[in-house]
Amino acid sequence: MKRPKALILRGSATNCDIETANAFAYAGACSDLAHINEFLSGKKSVLDYDILAFPGGFSYGDDISAGKIFSVKLEKIAAGLEKFIKDKRPVIGICNGFQIMVKAGLLPQNKGRARTATLFTNDCGHFLAKWIKLKVNTKSPCIFTRGLPSEIELPMAHGEGKFITRDSKTLATILKNNLHVLTYADNPNGSMADIAGICCVCGTVFGLMPHPERNFFSWQHPDRKKVKEALAVGYQFFKNAVEYVR
């Protein structure tokens, strides 16, 4: 089978897009790094791809709130996005990408894409950048985390990473259905239920605040001298999506 086509969808001021594109390419996909304007103009269509990624990093300067402007722009291609998701093609949002997905109503999954959660300012009141330990929910349907150990380490870098839901029912649904894919071992931002990442019911739509593309190779880890393998846990996130499509 030919290599799956992965779209890394960026906007003005997005960063981590090149790293995300390289991660998918290394994992066996054909990566296309493209600006949202190419889709708004009709030059390109999301339905021409097998995998969709919203990378991390301050799209549109995080004006108004993190990911909000990008999420508004997505409304113009909502029909294509909804079909992409309905077809169960993998979608991942990393950091700013997760913020975009939540504010566009793509996560938590619900009818009508109502906004039922947000990612708010960290409890500490400022930007945090550090390595963190995460618990992997092995009961989760998420395709991106298949085969991962029960605890992993990834770097985080955000000022608005506190996951909060609109009401207790939304949070209860997430927990009941094991949609809380990743949780913080030591909650750094005050997220409800220590949530660091969530997915949809079928597991193909996934958003997380930590950065798997920044722990892709073992040399990226602070304790790299202790790691014998060339590839780190971040590689598995991208490889899983590619293998799922194949």
Q: Which residues are catalytic?
A: 95, 211, 213
Cβ-count burial 206-236 (b if 16+ within 10 Å, e if not)? bbbbbbbbbbbbbebbeeeeeeeeeebbbbb
Distance CA 232, CA 226 (A): 12
